[in-house]
Amino acid sequence: MTRVFSGVKPTGHLTLGNYLGAMRQWAEVDQHRADALFCVVDLHALTVDHDPARVRRLSRQAATLLLATGLDPELCTVFVQSHVDEHARLSYVLECVATDGEMRRMIQYKEKAARERARGGSVRLSLLTYPVLMAADILAYGADEVPVGDDQAQHVELTRDLAVRFNQRYGHTFVVPKATVPEVAARVMNLQEPASKMGKSDDFGPGIVYLLDEPDVMRKKVMRAVTDSGREVVYDREGRPGVANLLEILAACTGKKPGALADAYESYGALKKDTAEAVVEVLRPVQERHKALCADPGHVEGVLGEGAEKARAMARPTVDAAYRAIGLLPAVSGAPAVALNAAR
Yes or no: say if 200 and 41 are a contact pair by the CB < 8 Å rule. no
DSSP state of 22: I
- Please, is 75 exposed, middle or buried when counting C-beta atoms within 10 Å of its C-beta (0-12, 13-18, 19+)? middle
| Of 93 and 148, CB closest to ligand TRP | 148
Residue type, 249: I
| Of 49 and 288, CB closest to ligand TRP | 49
Residue 129 contacts ligand TRP per CB under 6 A: no
Cα 137 to Cα 117, 142, 165, 297, 334, distances in angstroms: 28, 9, 17, 26, 30
Q: Which of 146, 218, 225, 247 binds ligand TRP (CB under 6 A)?
A: 146
DSSP state of 11: S
Residue 178 annotated in active site: no
Phi, psi of 8 (to 5 degrees): -120, 140
Residue 138 contacts ligand TRP per CB under 6 A: yes
**Least distance (Å) between residue 137 CB and ligand TRP:** 4
Q: Which of 42, 137, 144, 248 binds ligand TRP (CB under 6 A)?
A: 137
Residue 25 contacts ligand TRP per CB under 6 A: no
Site string for ligand TRP, 1-20 (x = CB under 6 A): ----xxx-x-----------
Residue 112 annotated in active site: yes
Q: Which of 9, 110, 112, 221 is catalytic?
A: 112
Query: Bridge partners of 77?
Result: 37
Q: How far is CA 145 from the centre of its chain?
A: 13
**Least distance (Å) between residue 240 CB and ligand TRP:** 28
Residue 289, SS3 per DSSP: helix
Residue 71 contacts ligand TRP per CB under 6 A: no
Q: Which residues bind ligand TRP (CB under 6 A)?
A: 5-7, 9, 41, 44, 134, 137-138, 146, 148, 152, 155
